[in-house]
Amino acid sequence: MKKPWSGRFSQKTSEALESFTESISFDRKLWKHDIAGSIAHAKMLAKQRIITSKESASIIAGLSETAEAIRRGKFRFSPELEDVHMNIESSLTDRIGDPGRKLHTARSRNDQVALDLRLYLREQMHNIIALIRKLQKTFVAMAEQHQDTVMPGYTHLQRAQPVLLAHHLLAYVEMFQRDRDRFRDCLRRTDSCPLGSCALAGTSLPTDRAYTAKLLGFSQVSGNSIDAVSDRDFALEFLSCTAISMMHLSRLAEELILWSTEEFGFLEISDRFTTGSSIMPQKKNPDVMELMRGKTGRVYGNLMALLTLMKGLPLAYNRDMQEDKLPVFDSAETLTACLSVLLKMMKGVKFNITRLKETAAGGYATATDIAEYLVRKGVPFRAAHEITGRIVLSCISRNIPLTSLSLRELRAFSPALSADVLAVLDPAASVKARSSFGGTSPSEVKRQLRHYRRLLR
C-alpha cells in the first residue's frame, strides 16, 4: 500500500518498522471522532473556497460511507497505513478519487490527533459524569433508607463513635460530587479546538478555525499552534481525575469487602455479584470489589506513564506522544466499567441493621459522650477526658460495658456525674446529640439529604 508520505523516500519501509510504529491496533477507537473532525474540516475548506463545495460534498459523502462500513464491521484497518487518520483518508481516496486527496489541505496528523483525543475525552467525560451522578442517586436512596440505622464509626479501624449509616453513605456522595466537579473542570480545558494548527506553525492558506471549532461544538479555539499540537495537559488532567475517582471507589470496595466478612457482618453482597470457590464449598467471595480495588493500581500507573512520557519532550509534536492513547483509553474504560458494575451491585447490598446497632453499642464508643457531658457540667475538657478514661479502664478490667455501671459507681469517678448521664450512653442518643453543622445527627443528615435531593434532581 502506498504511503501518503512516500514521495521523499526511495527505499521501501521495513516490515519491522511497520509493526513497530503502527497505532491502528488501538487508535482505531478514534474513528468516529476522526471522521467528525474531517467532515468539519471539509466544510470549512469549502466555505473558505479552498476546495469547491462539490468536492466538499463528495468528501463528506465518502467519509459517511467509510463510517458506515466501519460501523457494520466491513472495514479493513491496515497496519501499513499506520494509524486511524491515514486509514480513513486512504479509504476516502479509494472511494472518491481526487477530491479525497484534497482533504488533508491545511491540516496535519498532529493537529488531527490532538483533536481526536479531545473529542474522545469530551465524550468519555460526559458519560463518566452521568454515571457518577447515577451512583450518587443510588447512595442517596440508600441513605434515605438508613436515617436511623446506627453503626460504629471508625478511626484507625478501631471503633470510635456511633454514627448513622446514612451519614457514612453520604460521605461517599460528597466524594462523588467532587469527582464530578473535577471532571467538569477538566472538560472546560478540554473544550478547546486544536484543528487548523497544522503540523506546528499554522498555515498560509485562508482557513477559518473558529468555524471548524463551532461545527465541532468547541467553545474555544487554541491560541498557539505550537502548544496546540504539543499539549497533553488535558489528558493528564483526565488521568488524574480518573485516578482520584478510582481511589474513592477503591476505598468503598475495601469497606464492602471488610464489612461483608463474617467478622464484621455488617452487610451482604447479593449472590449475583459474588463468586464461589472451586474447592471450598462454603465460600462467597467479593471478587468484583477486589478487582475494583486492584484495577485502581493500573489507573494510577496510567497517570504516571503519561507524566513520564511527556516530561522530556521538546516542543512540538514527537512520536512518543502516540503512546498517550493506551493509558487514556485504559483509564476511561476502566473507570466506566467500575462505575457501571458498582451501580448494579449496590442495589443488591443488604445491611444487617441489628448487627450494626449492636456493634455501635460495644467498644466503649460512647465514651466521648461522657466527656462532653462533663464539659457541659463545667469540667474542663482535659479533666473530663481523664475521668472518662479512668471509667473506661475500670470497665475494661471488669469486662463490662459502660451501661452496666450504677450511678453510685459513676459518681465515685466524678461528683459532676448525675442520673441523666445514663441517657448519653445510648448510641442513638449519642448520634442525635452530634448536631453541629455536618455532624451525624438525624437533623444534619436530613439537611444533607435535602441538599443532594435538590442537587441531583
Which positions touch ligand ARG (CB under 6 A)?
A: 23, 27, 83, 109-110, 113, 317, 319, 321-322
**Shortest distance in whole angstroms from residue 305 CB to ligand ARG:** 15
**Shortest distance in whole angstroms from residue 251 CB to ligand ARG:** 35
**Shortest distance in whole angstroms from residue 292 CB to ligand ARG:** 30
**Shortest distance in whole angstroms from residue 106 CB to ligand ARG:** 16
Nearer to ligand ARG, 23 or 296 (CB): 23
Type of residue found at 190: T
What is the C-alpha separation between 227 and 411, in angstroms, rounded?
74
Grid cell 460530587 — which residue? 177
Alpha helices by DSSP H, listed for 48-164, are 53-71, 84-96, 109-145
Grid coordinates standing for 233?
495537559
Nearer to ligand ARG, 119 or 256 (CB): 119
Please choose, from the candidates 27, 24, 55, the residue with its C-alpha nearest in 3D space to the C-alpha of residue 41: 55
**Shortest distance in whole angstroms from residue 310 CB to ligand ARG:** 13
Q: Measured at the alpha carbon of residue 62, what is the angle toward residues 59 and 65, in degrees to the nearest 5?
A: 150
Give the SS3 label for residue 222. Answer: coil
What is the C-alpha separation between 243 and 222, in angstroms, rounded?
27
Is 146 among the catalytic positions?
no
**Shortest distance in whole angstroms from residue 135 CB to ligand ARG:** 32
Nearer to ligand ARG, 12 or 319 (CB): 319
**Shortest distance in whole angstroms from residue 107 CB to ligand ARG:** 11
Is 91 among the catalytic positions?
no
Q: Which of 14, 156, 204, 278 is catalytic?
A: 156
Cα dihedral: 145, 147, 152, 155 (round 10): 100
**Shortest distance in whole angstroms from residue 69 CB to ligand ARG:** 21
Type of residue found at 90: S
Inter-helix orientation angle 233-259/165-190, to 10°:
170
Nearer to ligand ARG, 113 or 187 (CB): 113
Type of residue found at 271: D
Contact status, residue 321 vs residue 228, Cβ threshold 8 Å: no
Grid cell 478490667 — which residue? 397
Contact status, residue 378 vs residue 387, Cβ threshold 8 Å: no
Please choose, from the candidates 375, 376, 398, 402, the residue with its C-alpha nearest in 3D space to the C-alpha of residue 386: 375
23-57 exposure pattern, b = at least 16 Cβ within 10 A, e = fewer: bbebbbbbbbbbbbbbbbbbbbbbbeebbeeebbe
Nearer to ligand ARG, 321 or 370 (CB): 321
Extended strands (E) in 149-232: 150-155, 158-164, 192-193, 220-221
What is the C-alpha separation between 190 and 193, in angstroms, rounded?
8
**Shortest distance in whole angstroms from residue 150 CB to ligand ARG:** 55
Nearer to ligand ARG, 176 or 317 (CB): 317
Nearer to ligand ARG, 23 or 302 (CB): 23
Nearer to ligand ARG, 260 or 322 (CB): 322
Q: Compute CA distances 99 → 46, 59, 157, whole Å.
A: 12, 7, 68
Beta carbons within 8 Å of 218's beta carbon, 6+ residues apart: 191, 192, 193
Nearer to ligand ARG, 27 or 372 (CB): 27
Grid coordinates standing for 268?
451482604
Q: Which of 25, 219, 277, 418 is catalytic?
A: 277
What is the C-alpha separation between 248 and 135, in angstroms, rounded?
12
Please choose, from the candidates 367, 447, 456, the residue with its C-alpha nearest in 3D space to the C-alpha of residue 159: 367
Distance separating the N- and C-terminal Cα atoms of the chain: 55
Q: What residues are labeled active site?
A: 156, 277
